[in-house]
Structure 1
């Protein structure tokens, strides 16, 4: 039997999918109405988290943050079945995942951090990506159950907390991408170009397909054979900024990128490939 704590969009759809696969699921949410709404699909809802986890071999969590996870688990402790496995899908800090793995082991429980790249529809359809790392015996034992919940379980090895770090890296890219798109739309507004034309551009030309090659170029450590010189990229970036200013639209990201480009040009890299702006971060990782 499974207990699931946290009936937000992700958690509630995980529960619906688990029930559709024949699992018995007990649910809890701080706002009880969100838990009782799942009774329509066959879940058993509880207002008390201690009662919700009683008898469960696996306890899944999809909560807000480190503090909430710690608070809810502490409240549930009295009801936990001895030796129960705790599987946490919450996006948290890597340090928090490491600390909880150690702490709950001392209490006689197995804690596995398994963050996801899944939206609510993925949780309902059991598609998307789930990340794990840590004790490989534990991971091996739990992977078949996790695989039923997602399209792919990605194992990042035996370092506890690495899955949490990988999740943060992925989310940082999504945040940067969205902020970059916001600037792109601001520039389109300034240039009086309709969104339909922007959509047509990216429908025909998908820059995302070049991501693996771009990453490889940035991490190669070789920047003196440019495909786009930094000085030219900086020139274009100024055109973006000038157009937005003329059109009285706000740019959140591009001015900061321009400043970083200027820093590298001042260091003598104007004729290098523009990906040199990532050189310091790459060296910090590899050294």
Structure 2
């Protein structure tokens, strides 16, 4: 018997996938109607979280944040059976994951943080990436079951909280990428270029092919052999900001990046590779 707490888009599709695999799943959600909806798929819904975890050897969670995880687990604790394993898929702080691992171990339970790079469709189809770190003996025990609900389980080693940190790094990149695309569309509007032309640009030109190389160069810290000088990149940033300003378009990222570029140029790094901004 398994329990799943948090029936948002991700959690509810995780449960549907588990049910299709023949699992018995007890579910709970703060808004009870969302849990009740899954009874049509074969789950058993509970209004009280303490009741939802009774008899479950493994409890999965997809909740909002550290505070929600702490509150829900505290309320569920009286119903937990001895030795129950808690698998938390929520995106939380690394500090929170570390603290929960310690406190639940002291209480006689096993807690492991396993956040995901998965959307609702991934959860339904058991695809996408799941991250995990911590007690390697426990992870080895859970791996066969976790493989059933994810396309790829990425074991980041024994450092508790590392999975939480990597998840935040990944989400930071997604947020930054989206903000960059917003700026690209804003600039296109300012230049009277159809937005569909921007889509066509990225169909023909995929800058992601250089992603690993850029990261390796930043980590190595070698910016003395530029492929694009910082001073030239700053000139282009100025052109972007001028074009947007002239057409009353708002850019999110470029003005702040330009400030970092200016600071590096003042340090005498204008003729270095523009990725020297990574040292700011």
Scaled to the shorter chain, the TM-score interval is over 0.9
Q: Distance in 2 between matches of 1:275 and 1:219?
A: 10
Query: Is residue 242 from structure 1 mapped to residue 242 from structure 2 by the alignment?
Result: yes
> SS of the residue aligned with 1:131?
strand
Q: May I ask how many residue pairs the two structures share in their alignment?
A: 280
> SS of the residue aligned with 2:4?
strand
Deviations for 1:142-189, whole angstroms, at most 9, x for unmatched residues? 111111110000011100000000001100111111111111111011
Partner of residue 252, structure 1: 252
Runs of 4+ in 1 over 4 A off after TM superposition: none
Partner of residue 90, structure 1: 90
Question: How far is 1:3 from its partner?
Answer: 0.2
Query: Is residue 36 from structure 1 mapped to residue 33 from structure 2 by the alignment?
Result: no
Q: Distance in 1 between matches of 2:8 and 2:221?
A: 43
Q: Distance in 1 between matches of 2:219 and 2:79?
A: 49
Partner of residue 270, structure 1: 270
Q: Distance in 2 between matches of 1:28 and 1:271?
A: 58
Query: Which TM-score applies when normalising by structure 1?
Result: 0.97
Query: Is residue 220 from structure 1 mapped to residue 207 from structure 2 by the alignment?
Result: no
Question: How far is 1:238 from its partner?
Answer: 0.5
Q: Distance in 1 between matches of 2:100 and 2:219?
A: 33
Partner of residue 120, structure 2: 120
Partner of residue 6, structure 1: 6
Query: Is residue 230 from structure 1 mapped to residue 230 from structure 2 by the alignment?
Result: yes
Partner of residue 19, structure 1: 19
> SS of the residue aligned with 1:210?
helix
> Which runs of 5 or more structure 2 residues have no equivalent in the other structure?
none
> SS of the residue aligned with 1:60?
strand
Q: Distance in 2 between matches of 1:193 and 1:14?
A: 42
Q: Distance in 2 between matches of 1:158 and 1:110?
A: 14
> Which runs of 5 or more structure 1 residues have no equivalent in the other structure?
281-287
Q: Distance in 2 between matches of 1:166 and 1:224?
A: 29
Partner of residue 285, structure 1: none
Query: Which TM-score applies when normalising by structure 2?
Result: 0.99
Query: Is residue 279 from structure 1 mapped to residue 275 from structure 2 by the alignment?
Result: no
Q: Distance in 1 between matches of 2:279 and 2:197?
A: 35
Partner of residue 188, structure 2: 188
Partner of residue 79, structure 1: 79
Q: Distance in 1 between matches of 2:224 and 2:50?
A: 61
CA RMSD of aligned residues (A): 0.6
Partner of residue 158, structure 2: 158
Partner of residue 177, structure 1: 177
Q: Distance in 1 between matches of 2:111 and 2:226?
A: 47
Question: How far is 1:279 from its partner?
Answer: 2.0
